Amino acid sequence: MEDDQEARRRMVEISRHTTVPTVVVGDEVVVGFDPQKLDKLLS
């Protein structure tokens, strides 16, 4: 993200954040480390 401005722009467009990690699962955006939410989305 630091060196790839296009990736940064896409992340802000999708999530409205520049926080890492930001994970997109389908239509859901998980900002920050949230293993319980990720488990729920991936199961």
Domain count, the chain: 1
Per the structure, the complete domain to which residue 30 belongs is given by 5-42
Phi first, then psi, for residue 20 (nearest 5°) are -120, 140
Number of H helices, E strands in the chain: 2, 2
Model confidence pLDDT, tens digit, residues 1-40: 679 999 889 989 988 888 889 899 999 999 999 999 999 9
pTM over 0.75: no
DSSP E strand stretches across the chain? 22-25, 28-31
Q: Which two tokens stand for residue 37?
A: 């939410």
